[in-house]
Amino acid sequence: MRGYPRTGLALIGVFLLAGLGGCGSVGTIYQPDAFGATKTYAVVTVMANEKVGCKGSGGNPCNGGVFGLVNTLAKSNAYSEDAAEVLESTYPAALKALRASANLKIIDVKAQRAYREAVADEQPGGMMSAQHTVAKGYKYFSDEKLARLARDLKVDGVISVTLSYSAALSGVQVAGLGGGYKASTTVMVRAMDKSGKTVWFDYAAGQSDDGAGTFAGAVDFPKLRPFFSESTGKAAKKLMDDFNDKSRKM
């Protein structure tokens, strides 16, 4: 397998979830001759890290620091970190940005018989493998199956889109109280051609302008969730602006 293997991408996803700001970056890949107005790709996997992470000043801000035990026992939806709902409401913004590029023609994979008949793979387990929630209507595939799927779909390559969400601390918080959180999204894409070579790998992050406060010392997720559409849209636009700039220079 050339490029980043899926296990490596899982680890990269963990690092991206932890935050990119000021901590260096993971190398990107762009092969110019793999793209253009005549090239056709299929987005075959859309997924997200299964939990919404938190960027704070220590402890576990998702569970309210010292208030975490109380919040967990309450089992209120206000403290749910499940990313499934956020994924379903935000991934269309990422796909819209991909489809808007003049250098990337995306087919409707759900309408393809070869895709409907393709059998999804189990996600790798173990401590070094991040688990993902797959968007409804999409499937998870191993690297070995991706190249074959591109050939079966009669496209130049296939794309996997991975999103990572986090609640980013905004303002001053003392002992788990005060301050607020903004929605932050990282969009990561990987394109593989029919031979199994990774021809595009890149990522970008976006953050909402506004956000939500805390409730009983924890992130108020029901109020924060709507802002992830904005942060995802910003991340996807940044990603594709960079992709289009590279395409124009070639």
What pLDDT, in 10s, does the model give residues 79-96?
567 899 999 999 999 999
* Closest residue by Cα to residue 215 from 80, 87, 53: 80
**23-32, 99-108, 137-146: segment of lowest average pLDDT:** 23-32
* Closest residue by Cα to residue 49 from 11, 4, 89: 11
b vs e for 115-130, b when ≥16 Cβ sit within 10 Å of the residue's Cβ?
beebeeeebeeeeeeb
In sign, the C-alpha dihedral spanning 32, 33, 34, 39 is positive
pTM, entire model = 0.81
3-state secondary structure of 91: helix
In a domain, 24, yes or no: no
- Give residue 213's pLDDT: 77
Please check the confidence at residue 8 and state whether its pLDDT lies above 50: no
Q: What is the average per-residue pLDDT within 114-120?
A: 96
Please check the confidence at residue 21 and state whether its pLDDT lies above 50: no
Per-residue pLDDT band for 222 (boundaries 50, 70, 90) equals: confident
Please check the confidence at residue 20 and state whether its pLDDT lies above 50: no
Q: What is the average per-residue pLDDT within 65-88?
A: 61
Please check the confidence at residue 50 and state whether its pLDDT lies above 50: yes
In a domain, 35, yes or no: yes
In sign, the C-alpha dihedral spanning 68, 10, 181, 77 is negative
Domain with 175, as residue range(s), is 6-18+29-249
3-state secondary structure of 60: coil
User: Number of folded domains in the chain?
Assistant: 1
In a domain, 1, yes or no: no
For the stretch 24-31, contacts whose Cβ atoms lie closer than 8 Å and that sit 24 or more positions apart, written own/partner, are 26/203, 28/201, 28/202, 28/203, 29/3, 29/4, 29/198, 29/199, 29/200, 29/201, 29/202, 30/199, 30/200, 30/201, 30/202, 30/243, 30/246, 31/197, 31/199, 31/200
Q: What is the average per-residue pLDDT within 237-242?
A: 96
Q: How many Cα atoms sit within 13 Å of 107 on the Cβ side? A: 20
Report how far apart the first and last C-alpha atoms of the chain are (Å, whole number).
26
In a domain, 10, yes or no: yes
In a domain, 37, yes or no: yes
- Give residue 4's pLDDT: 52
- Give residue 247's pLDDT: 84
In a domain, 200, yes or no: yes
More confident residue, 2 or 116: 116
In a domain, 93, yes or no: yes
- The first and second tokens of residue 213, run together, are 């406060």
In a domain, 194, yes or no: yes
Q: What is the average per-residue pLDDT within 167-194?
A: 80
- Give residue 9's pLDDT: 52
Q: Length of the chain in residues, anyone?
A: 250
- Give residue 72's pLDDT: 47
- Give residue 220's pLDDT: 78
Rounded to the nearest 10 degrees, what angle do helices 228-249 and 84-99 cross at?
A: 30
φ/ψ of residue 193, rounded to 5: -85, 180
8 Å CB contact between 80 and 221:
yes
In the block, tokens 């700001």 appear at 21
